[in-house]
Amino acid sequence: MPFNFIQKRKKQIGRKTFGFPCTPGIKIAVLAMARRIGVPNYVLCEHLLQLAAAQISIDLEDPESERELKQHLISSHLLQPVLAENEYDEDAVERARKKRLLHQELEKVVRTLMGMVEREHIPVRLLADVTRAIIEDARYKEGSPDTNSKGGNDDNKNIP
- Summarised one tens digit per residue, pLDDT across range 12-63 is 555 455 677 777 788 889 999 999 999 998 899 999 999 989 989 988 999 9
- Say whether pTM exceeds 0.75: no
Residue spans of the domains in the chain: they are 3-84, 94-156
C-alpha–C-alpha distance, residues 77 and 146, integer Å: 33
Mean pLDDT across the stretch 108-136? 82
> CA geometry: angle at 120 spanning 114 and 124, to 5°?
50
Q: What is the pLDDT of residue 142?
A: 65
Percent of the chain residues past pLDDT 90, beyond the cut: 17
C-alpha–C-alpha distance, residues 137 and 123, integer Å: 22
- Based on DSSP, count helices (H) and strands (E) in the chain, helices before strands: 6, 2
Q: Using an 8 Å Cβ cutoff, are 30 and 45 in contact?
A: yes
Q: Is 2 helix (H, G, I), strand (E, B) or coil?
A: coil
Q: Using an 8 Å Cβ cutoff, are 103 and 63 in contact?
A: no
The answer for residues whose C-beta is within 8 angstroms of residue 110's C-beta and 6 or more apart is 131, 134
